[in-house]
Structure 1
Amino acid sequence: MTDFDRRQLLAFTLAAAIPVPVSARQTGGWQARAAMPWVAQEIYCAVSGGKIVVVGGLIGIPGQRERGVEARVGFYDPVTDLWAEGPPLPEARHHPMVVADAGGRLFSIGGYGEGPTGQWTNATEVRVLEEGGWVAGPPLPVPQAEAVGLEARGRIHLVTGRSPNAGSNGNWNDQADVATHQVLTDGRWETLRPAPMARNSAAGAVLDGRLWIAGGRTVAGGGTGRLDRYDPVEDRWETLAPIPFSGAAGQQVGGGLAMVATGGKLVTFGGEWFAPGGGGVFAETWIYDPASDGWSRGPDMKSPRHGLAAAAVNGVAYAIGGSSLVSSGQTTGIVEALSL
């Protein structure tokens, strides 16, 4: 599927978004850190043993239909600002969910791989990093990529994303937006209450023992800034104040963004938007305070990107890799950090 085809599907029925009031911009700024040893977008990461672990990804090749799919795994040490390469995945994957369980074990869940008909074959394989390499974990009952993967209260949750539509599974447009909520507990997957809205490419974080799902987009409606919170004890969802509208882009912050939880707040940044003839990436950083159910403007990203990985370690948010242009136009290995 060409980049133009993908933009067409996402662009022409963009939903109208209404700006919401926000407080004054906060001070501080993003600072450069050691870049990844390779470039990758459509990536996720997890923190284990104080290291940030990035798995797989997509390598956009400007002007070409084909893209490279990565199997490499990177370990970043925020203390030394150094990268090391870990054991690669058995299969190259982009959009794999990367989650550390309560004991620090790393899981690479699903994602897209190369199949007979394309590079968007939605996978069910789950891999667990053991000493010496990745081993098979409990496979997903239903493929679910471009999702949000989080660990809370000893269980791994997989929420929203895209699953194969009508049996086809190989190309981007074979997938449909879903509100599915799968959870891994005691070595098996179960289904819990679905998210309030089906969408893909949202961001997530765990704060106060609850799951927070922000942004995302739908093929039919474009970016959504909605913020949903899930209580795993009560198995209950509620919807809170949305991410503010981007006045600079004239678009609602939606798909391909990243989010972390730190200091009792949520921090979102990045993402992309599509429009006829082009699109762009969002520069804004938004900070959400659960106490007031309100957003404030943080420092704009030094290098705006989408499809990036994000993690927080010791009060510092890290933005890793991604693409500096809408779709797969300019894949990067940029790493920047924001102290809060």
Structure 2
Amino acid sequence: MRLTKLFLPLFITCLPYTLSANEEFAPELPEAIQEIYPTVMNKQIWVAGGISTELSESTGKMTEKVHFWSPDYATWQSAPSLPEGRHHTYLIAVENKLFAFGGFVNTQGQWTNSRDVLMLDKGAKAWQKVARLPFALSETVGAVLDGKVHLVGGRSPSNEQNGQWQHSLDKAEHLVFNPNNYEFAKAAPLPFARNSAATVQVNGRWFVLGGRTVGGEPLKDVLEYVPEQDQWLTHPALPKGRAGHAAAAIDNMIYIFGGEHNQTVDSEIFKYDVLKKQWHKVTTWLAPRHGLGAVTLNNQIWLIGGAKAVGLSQTTNELTSAHELLNKR
């Protein structure tokens, strides 16, 4: 078994596991979580924070735990925890650094938007607060372009009140974070403000798909950011508006999973051919989830956590390979 040098002294050695050619081994997460944004670093899937009805009331049902896994490991491995529990924090890797942007933290029983920029560097034993976002932000999405982190959309407090859904304001801002000096710049905003979108990179191209507004319907638009022109291009819309969903890509295909609306968890899985600019329905997911994460690792899509019912109920600790799901006939 390969063990990364990152955080090696902190682990108890796990049992090795070798995948056979047709096997899709997927160990359960250590705890049920949703509203997460996993990332891939060092060929490992990383998950930080999350929320679940199964977690303690004293922490606002949030977790501060951080875990990572690869097909080389029999179980999920533990890494240094976040400073406190939080959910909807945007996790992204830049080389050997992990960054967590904003998210909701627990303040006297309320979800309050955070301005924290947290970093876990290679070999570190704890997260550091290295910067502050220009404004409190959660439910944003992002990408790494030319070594910098781009963040767009999300929710922010509309005034000094910060803790209730009605206090929220949708954002269209486009922030560019430099991971070397921890400073922010601005780029072209989204055409329309939103939160809870999905995002994916395809061969270096960055796409933002759907989302919702506070009190509004799920959005259907598909946008691509072109850094050379600092502008957003419009692609053919999603067949159905989505929010709280996840996206991942293989080759030139973008796949959309889950989401929630009107007390329903979306079950239709769609794929988008980036080259042909066409949408197609792949299948109907019999156990759909919202608030899940999706990443591509070793040319395979993995679906992580989420909930099978709208809201916090039926949150899962599932790690699922999408291979069989996407290849149904």
| TM-score normalised over the length of structure 1 | 0.82
Q: 1:336 to 1:268 in 2, by over 3 A?
A: same
Match of 1:284 among 268, 278, 282: 268
1:67-111 Cα distance to aligned partner (Å, 9 max, x none): 50110011111344531121100121110000011x231111110
Structure 1 residue 307 corresponds to structure 2 residue 291: yes
Match of 2:101 among 106, 109, 133: 109
- Structure with the larger RCO, 1 or 2 (CA within 8 Å, 6+ apart): 1
Structure 1 residue 179 corresponds to structure 2 residue 172: yes
Which segments of 5 or more consecutive residues in structure 1 lack a partner in the other structure? 1-30, 246-251
1:166-216 Cα distance to aligned partner (Å, 9 max, x none): 221122321111111111024201121111111110010112323200011
| Structure 1: 4+ residue segments shifted above 4 A | none
1:224 aligns to what? 219
Could you say which structure has the higher strand fraction?
1
Q: 1:81 to 1:294 in 2, by over 3 A?
A: farther
Match of 2:120 among 122, 125, 129: 129
Task: Give the whole-Å Cα distance in 2 for the aligned partners of 1:333 and 1:243.
Answer: 28
State whether residues 125 and 140 of structure 1, in contact with CA within 8 Å, keep that contact through their aligned partners in structure 2: yes
1:330 aligns to what? 314
Task: Give the whole-Å Cα distance in 2 for the aligned partners of 1:327 and 1:107.
Answer: 27
1:26 aligns to what? none
State whether residues 61 and 67 of structure 1, in contact with CA within 8 Å, keep that contact through their aligned partners in structure 2: no
1:41 aligns to what? 34
1:19-41 Cα distance to aligned partner (Å, 9 max, x none): xxxxxxxxxxxx77211010111
Q: Identity percentage over the alignment?
A: 35
Which segments of 5 or more consecutive residues in structure 2 lack a partner in the other structure? 1-23
Secondary structure of the structure 1 residue equivalent to 2:65 = strand
Task: Give the whole-Å Cα distance in 1 for the aligned partners of 2:27 and 2:309.
Answer: 21
State whether residues 52 and 313 of structure 2, in contact with CA within 8 Å, keep that contact through their aligned partners in structure 1: no
State whether residues 71 and 91 of structure 1, in contact with CA within 8 Å, keep that contact through their aligned partners in structure 2: yes
The aligned length equals 297
Q: How does 1:264-275 map to 2 (within 5 A)?
A: 264-274=252-262
State whether residues 60 and 67 of structure 1, in contact with CA within 8 Å, keep that contact through their aligned partners in structure 2: no
Task: Give the whole-Å Cα distance in 2 for the aligned partners of 1:119 and 1:211.
Answer: 33
Task: Give the whole-Å Cα distance in 2 for the aligned partners of 1:193 and 1:321.
Answer: 32
State whether residues 32 and 54 of structure 2, in contact with CA within 8 Å, keep that contact through their aligned partners in structure 1: no
| TM-score normalised over the length of structure 2 | 0.85
Secondary structure of the structure 2 residue equivalent to 1:323 = coil
1:56 aligns to what? 49
Paired letter, 2:120 = L
